[in-house]
């Protein structure tokens, strides 16, 4: 396990830890034949880095795909 800087907040650590999960989810979708548009990739990166939370990310994705 990588060392975590004590200068990071708990929120930053949590989002840093989710980056591999976001990458895995994108790769999993691509292996299933799905493609991610540029807007999704920008939002996924924003979520993974802690700029937006999971609720905002989910609302945006659902609204863009007509599932809201």
Give the pLDDT score at 2: 46
Give the pLDDT score at 6: 44
pLDDT (mean) for 18-30: 88
Task: Band the pLDDT of 19: cuts 50, 70, 90.
Answer: confident
Give the pLDDT score at 12: 54
Task: Band the pLDDT of 1: cuts 50, 70, 90.
Answer: very low
17-52 exposure pattern, b = at least 16 Cβ within 10 A, e = fewer: ebeeebeeebeeeeeeeeeeeeebeebbebbbebeb
pLDDT in tens, 27-58: 999 999 998 889 998 999 898 888 999 999 99
């Amino acid at each position: 396990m990588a060392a975590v800087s004590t200068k990071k907040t708990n929120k930053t650590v949590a989002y840093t830890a989710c980056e591999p999960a976001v990458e895995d989810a994108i790769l999993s979708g691509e292996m299933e034949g799905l493609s991610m548009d540029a807007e999704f990739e920008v939002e996924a990166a924003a979520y993974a880095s802690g700029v937006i939370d999971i609720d905002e990310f989910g609302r945006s994705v659902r609204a863009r795909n007509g599932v809201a």
